[in-house]
């Protein structure tokens, strides 16, 4: 079953901001170059192509590719001719060979890759060949395993993954440049110690998981000196903390965690009723 459109929008709120402000909307047709939005920082306009064939007409100007078509099973090998391509978005494609698709992208300097609702259970190991990758977004209701190879992406700054994960690879701490880790709508009950090695982490989102106790967080969380945002809405513990805020005006179980992260705001507010 495909991800519900409303849930997909919730999961990709931050993904949208990270990926060129491209709208991901279950009811809209794919973007064309005439209606393409501007780039992430609005420094210059970037044409977003909705097909590889269109991009090949002016290959040197193609920097962003947004494909949304469930009839696509293979990626045109000529994609490697788009030498300036930086941002790639695959939405609801029916790819038969994802490793082959990523292998093609490895010939380019891709900095942002988005894979949403493409029937992916795990990322293929070849993901580690995308050496320039700074933003990776992979959201699928069958995505349950994050390959350790992802931890070889030394330039990765933004990682958004879901929706069936319950653990992270032990090598996750190698992502020293990671700033945003979005793990919303997964199955986490505990947070692994290795997350404390992410010394540049600014934002950690764990909304819509199964965290029931402050004991789910490692004691080393205090090492995350740059962490500014910890999002926990729609977890069992967040529901209790929300009631504490309403009644007493302060956190209860999470108060110690908040004190150990003085520069971080802990968000427990409800955003939607859990499915």
Q: In whole angstroms, give the CA distance from residue 50 to residue 67.
A: 5
The mean predicted confidence, pLDDT, of the chain is: 85
Does 29 score more than 90 pLDDT? no
Asked, for residue 215, whether it belongs to a domain, the answer is yes
CB-neighbour burial class of residue 135 (10 A; exposed 0-12, middle 13-18, buried 19+): buried
Does 112 score more than 80 pLDDT? yes
**CA Rg value for the chain:** 19
Token pair 């997964």 is found at 186
Note the pLDDT tens digit of each residue in 225-236. 999 999 999 999
CA separation, residue 54 to residues 86, 129, 148 (Å) = 16, 26, 35
Asked, for residue 275, whether it belongs to a domain, the answer is no
- Helix, strand or coil, per DSSP, at residue 245: helix
Contacts of 180 (CB under 8 A, 6+ apart): 14, 18, 157, 158, 159, 160, 201, 202, 203, 205
Asked, for residue 243, whether it belongs to a domain, the answer is yes
Asked, for residue 58, whether it belongs to a domain, the answer is yes
Contact predicate 221/199, CB 8 Å: no
- pLDDT (0 to 100) of residue 4: 54
- pTM of the full predicted structure? 0.84
Asked, for residue 231, whether it belongs to a domain, the answer is yes
- pLDDT (0 to 100) of residue 96: 93
Q: In whole angstroms, give the CA distance from residue 129 to residue 10.
A: 30
- pLDDT (0 to 100) of residue 8: 52
Q: In whole angstroms, give the CA distance from residue 55 to residue 64.
A: 9
Average pLDDT score over residue span 41-51: 73
Residue span of the structural domain in which 160 resides? 5-267
Asked, for residue 38, whether it belongs to a domain, the answer is yes
Total number of domains in the chain: 1
Asked, for residue 16, whether it belongs to a domain, the answer is yes
Of residues 133 and 8, which shows the higher confidence score?
A: 133
Of residues 259 and 172, which shows the higher confidence score?
A: 172
Residue 196 is classified by DSSP as G
Q: What are the beta bridge partners of residue 162?
A: 139
Of residues 28 and 251, which shows the higher confidence score?
A: 251
Asked, for residue 262, whether it belongs to a domain, the answer is yes
Note the pLDDT tens digit of each residue in 129-188. 999 999 999 999 989 999 999 999 999 999 999 999 999 999 999 999 999 999 999 999
Tokens of 138: 């992979």
CA separation, residue 155 to residues 110, 130, 174, 217 (Å) = 11, 10, 11, 26
Note the pLDDT tens digit of each residue in 72-93. 999 999 999 999 999 999 999 9
Q: In whole angstroms, give the CA distance from residue 120 to residue 251.
A: 38
Contact predicate 37/21, CB 8 Å: yes
Does 273 score more than 80 pLDDT? no
Q: What are the beta bridge partners of residue 163?
A: none
The closest of 232, 215, 223 to 266, measured between CA atoms, is 232
Q: In whole angstroms, give the CA distance from residue 122 to residue 102.
A: 13
- What's the CATH code of the domain at 95? 3.80.10.10
């Amino acid at each position: 079953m495909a991800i519900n459109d409303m849930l997909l929008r919730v999961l990709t709120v931050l993904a949208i901001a990270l990926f060129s402000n491209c709208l991901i909307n279950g009811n809209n047709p794919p973007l064309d170059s005439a209606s393409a939005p501007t780039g992430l920082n609005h420094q210059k306009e970037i044409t977003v192509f909705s097909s590889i064939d269109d991009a090949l007409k002016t290959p040197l100007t193609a920097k962003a590719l947004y494909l949304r078509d469930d009839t696509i099973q293979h990626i045109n090998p000529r994609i490697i001719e788009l030498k300036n391509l930086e941002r790639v978005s695959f939405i609801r494609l029916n790819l038969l060979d994802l490793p082959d698709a990523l292998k093609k992208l490895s010939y380019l300097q891709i900095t942002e890759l988005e894979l949403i609702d493409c029937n992916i259970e795990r990322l293929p190991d070849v993901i580690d060949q995308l050496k320039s990758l700074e933003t990776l977004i992979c959201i699928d209701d069958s995505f349950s395993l994050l390959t350790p190879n992802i931890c070889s992406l030394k330039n990765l700054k933004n990682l958004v993954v879901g929706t069936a994960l319950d653990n992270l690879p032990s090598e996750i701490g190698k992502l020293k440049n990671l700033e945003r880790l979005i793990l919303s709508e997964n199955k986490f009950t505990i947070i692994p110690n290795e997350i404390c090695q992410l010394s540049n982490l600014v934002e950690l989102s764990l909304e819509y998981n199964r965290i029931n106790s402050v004991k789910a967080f490692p004691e080393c969380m205090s090492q995350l000196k740059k962490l500014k945002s910890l999002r926990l809405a729609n977890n069992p513990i967040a529901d209790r903390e929300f009631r504490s805020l309403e009644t007493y005006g302060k956190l209860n179980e999470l108060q110690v965690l908040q004190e150990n992260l003085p520069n971080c705001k802990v968000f427990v507010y409800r955003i939607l009723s859990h499915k």
